[in-house]
Structure 1
Amino acid sequence: MILLRTTWNTLRVMALDAREGFVEITRNGFALLGLLVIAAALMLSARPELRVTATTHLLAWLEARQITNTWSPAKSFAALERTTAGDPLDLPAEQASVTYWLSRKYNVSPEPLSVLVAEAFLLGERANIAPTLILAIMAIESNFNPFAQSSVGGQGLMQILPMQQAHKLAQLGGPMATFDPLSNLRLGVSLLHDLSVQKGSIDAALIAYAETTKSRESNYLERVLQEEQRLARITQSLRQARTQSEESRTKMRPVRWQAPVRSDSISL
Structure 2
Amino acid sequence: MNKWLTNNSSNSQDQQSATLAAKDLLAHAMTPVYRVINSVLVVAVFMVVGLWLSGNGTNAGAFDLARILVPDEARHIVWSNGFGMLEQYKAANDSPTQMADSEIAAVIYSNKLNPIPASFNSAKQQTVALLMPSVGQIQVKSISHLADRIPASKVDPQALDSNLMSSIQNQRAVADFFEKKYKLDRTKIEEYVSKTILVAKEVKIDPVLLLAVISVESNFNPNTKSHAGAEGLMQVMTSVHKDKYELFGGTTEAVKPEVNIRVGAYILKYLIATAGSLRNGLKYYVGAANAENDGGYADKVMAERNRLISLCQTGSTNRVTLNGKDLRS
What TM-score do the two structures reach when normalised by structure 2? 0.44
Match of 1:149 in 2: 225
Instruction: Decide which of 218, 240, 246 is 2:321's aligned counterpart.
Output: 246
Match of 1:115 in 2: 191
Alignment partners' CA distance in 1, 2:288 and 2:195: 22
Alignment partners' CA distance in 1, 2:315 and 2:257: 27
Instruction: Decide which of 310, 313, 318 is 1:233's aligned counterpart.
Output: 310
Q: How does 1:66-215 map to 2 (within 5 A)?
A: 92-211=168-287
* Cα gap change, 1:239 to 1:98, in 2 (>3 Å): same
* Cα gap change, 1:239 to 1:128, in 2 (>3 Å): farther
User: Secondary structure in 1 aligned to 2:173?
Assistant: helix
Alignment partners' CA distance in 2, 1:131 and 1:207: 19
Alignment partners' CA distance in 1, 2:318 and 2:286: 35
Q: Deviations over 1:119-168 (max 9, x none)?
A: 22233334342211111111111111100011221111111111110100
Deviation (angstroms), 1:240: 2.5
Alignment partners' CA distance in 2, 1:161 and 1:94: 31
Seq. identity, %? 28
Q: Specify the code of the residue in structure 2 equivalent to 1:219.
A: G
Q: Specify the code of the residue in structure 2 equivalent to 1:224.
A: V
The higher radius of gyration belongs to 1
Hey, which of these two has a bigger chunk of helix by percent? 1
Q: Specify the code of the residue in structure 2 equivalent to 1:240.
A: T
Higher relative contact order (CA 8 A, sep 6+): 2
CA contact (8 A) 2:222 2:256 kept: yes
Alignment partners' CA distance in 1, 2:264 and 2:220: 13
Hey, which of these two has a bigger chunk of strand by percent? 2
Match of 1:256 in 2: none
Q: Deviations over 1:189-241 (max 9, x none)?
A: 0111111222222221111111189xx96111111111111111111112222
User: Secondary structure in 2 aligned to 1:246?
Assistant: strand
Alignment partners' CA distance in 2, 1:241 and 1:211: 41
* Cα gap change, 1:212 to 1:120, in 2 (>3 Å): farther
CA contact (8 A) 2:275 2:281 kept: yes
Q: How does 1:4-15 map to 2 (within 5 A)?
A: none
User: Secondary structure in 1 aligned to 2:223?
Assistant: coil
CA contact (8 A) 2:199 2:261 kept: no
User: Secondary structure in 2 aligned to 1:111?
Assistant: helix
Q: Which runs of 4+ in 1 moved over 6 A?
A: none
Alignment partners' CA distance in 2, 1:122 and 1:197: 21
